[in-house]
Chains A and B, each alone.
Chain A
Amino acid sequence: MTPANASLKSDVSSSPDWEKIRADFPILQLHIDGKPLAYLDNAASSQMPQQVIDRLVRYQTTQHANINRAVHYLSEVATLEYHNARCKLQQFINAREDREVIFTSGTTDSINLVMHGYGRKFIKAGDEIILTTLEHHSNIVPWQMLANEKGATICVVPVNDKGELEVDEYEKLFNERTKFVGLIHVSNALGTINPIKGMIDFAHRHGVPVLIDGAQAAPHITIDVQALDCDFYTFSAHKLCGPTGIGILYGKAALLEAMQPFKGGGDMITSVTFEKTIYNTIPHKFEAGTPPIAAAIGFGAAVDYLTAIGIEQIAAYELGLLKYATACLNDIPGVRIIGTAAEKTAVISFAIDGIHPHDIGTILNQDGVAVRTGHHCAQPVMQRFNVPATSRASFAFYNKKTEVDALVAGIKTVQKIFL
């Protein structure tokens, strides 16, 4: 824990000072069209606290050099800090070894890495890949590309009317052709928390590896990859108060070692001749070229920051916001919440009868309320619930009830204008 974060968790048993924590985020002081910003688009990207911004500034002003190459002071410092960031991520997800953490450009890049590195080597014609209706496009499209290339088949787990996976149907999909499972931990469109532990165990009983897309889970749920026993786990820094352009892929060391490299280039080799290249060991085998060093160090600072508050404290606070917002929206006639799973993170996708989400988003923006409107890169979910798009309010630990009130007032303005 850095000194800057020490005040956040002086006493684990007491509730954090949420007002003080909110003050760490300079962007939340903005006004939009003269109205205070209510930033409720955290599922798309969360904001960055001053502590992370300061860490990036410190790196750029006093520590920057390329890594793993030179013997001079700055290169040694940058290399060490980059390595420290990897270790922080290892601890954050409780991986066995730091070499099981690969820095990527984000969740999408990680899934593509697994598709190319594992899928193209081990999945063959006639094989089946199980995905779910809740997947983000980033955990659909790469597997479709692979299936088209190899002649494999995608099988899809359905969801019930609450937006919960039908686990019985998942289990029925398994047969001797099943070779891979891709599973979203938390639905970005609905907030549903999926029962991944049991689903991973079931897949393993059939000898099938499982990739978990944790982009929406890592900011809200304590991730323990050893307890989950998942084969791959991935998420992005920018949804955890860190920079864009960086994320991780966790993979079991034995699997990563068996995989082929995804991208070729510098630093992912031990020797190159025009006749032959010998690849580096993991994690370097999968980190070709100069990585986003500053972003990785910022990512480390972000998980320091979140860890200092406590993911469980964050989850409890956000659950309070979710309950309050759900009750408020349920009280507005004509508003329908899509995704009512028993286990949810603080995401509310909603539709207003007779009003298109884009018009809702534009009017809410006028009141300073930032929500996402659209299909959330999850078109199969939209098709399942027979809507072209939804409006989505997604909360973070720095949000407060008055911002929910601003959302409610904005929705009433929308209805007044259009109905």
Chain B
Amino acid sequence: MHTNSLYQEVILDHNRKPRNYGKLDHASHHATGHNPLCGDRLDITLQLEDDQINNIAFQGESCAICKASASMMTAAVKGKSRANAETLIHEFRELATGKLDTNQPHHLGRLTVFSGIRDLPTRVKCAILPWHTLHAALNSLDSASTEADDSAPTMPDHS
């Protein structure tokens, strides 16, 4: 794949101006995500009320792919139910690892901009880290690691 198809303007924009960046003072749930391969860290705080995500924020040190993924994720799940968020988490992981058929109905909307990541196996974990962390926060797990991901990345085609 050509890298420009990954670093599209929408991703670059979310990297430059991340939405929902920061930390909620009165979070009901939180988790820290960690990618031990590169040392990236991500903190997610959210307010869950009646199983609905009323507010969510993230902060941390990470690459553009991870930051944009986190930014777009927070925008996508804010106001959604826990069940809807879990559906998005599942679909995003399937998308990033090349297992989602985007021609079939799904709920990802603009998040499909990350579909090109499946061709860069070393970067898949960057995109998935925020979603792992959100899953951990929703399930009251303090931390998440990309190394818990059992998805097998595909090899890039450089022929």
Contact = CB atoms under 8 A, between A and B. Distances in A.
A16 B107 CA distance: 61
A375 interface: yes
A365 B38 contact: no
Interface stretch (A65-73, A188-196, A297-305, A355-363): A355-363
Given A362-B120, A363-B7, A366-B3, A418 B64 contact: yes
Interface string A4-17: 00000000000000
B62 A366 contact: no
Interface in A362-399: 362-363, 365-366, 373-375, 379, 382, 388-389
B39 A33 contact: no
A342 interface: no
B7 A417 contact: yes
Contacts of B126: 358
Given A358-B38, A375-B39, A33 B2 contact: yes
B12 to A, nearest CB: 7
Nearest to A419: B16
A32 B1 CA distance: 11
A30 B7 CA distance: 25
A62 B62 CA distance: 52
Given A362-B123, A418-B12, A374 B3 contact: no
A44 to B, nearest CB: 13
A382 B38 CA distance: 11
Contacts of A373: 38
Contacts of B6: 362
Nearest to B6: A362
Interface in A31-51: 31-33
B65 interface: yes
Given A374-B37, A388-B39, A418-B12, A356 B63 contact: yes
B40 interface: yes
A363 B158 contact: no
Nearest to A373: B38
B12 A366 contact: no
Given A362-B3, A362-B120, A389 B158 contact: no
Contacts of A355: 64
Contacts of A357: 38, 63
A358 B65 contact: yes
A33 B119 CA distance: 12
Contacts of B7: 359, 362-363, 417
B132 to A, nearest CB: 17
Interface of A: 30-33, 355-359, 362-363, 365-366, 373-375, 379, 382, 388-389, 417-418
20 contacts: A30-B158, A33-B2, A33-B3, A33-B158, A357-B38, A358-B63, A359-B7, A359-B64, A359-B65, A366-B3, A373-B38, A374-B39, A379-B39, A388-B38, A388-B40, A389-B38, A389-B39, A417-B7, A417-B12, A418-B12
Given A33-B158, A388-B38, 20 more contacts: A33-B3, A355-B64, A356-B62, A358-B65, A358-B126, A362-B3, A362-B6, A363-B3, A366-B2, A366-B3, A366-B4, A374-B37, A374-B38, A374-B39, A375-B38, A388-B39, A388-B41, A388-B61, A389-B39, A418-B12
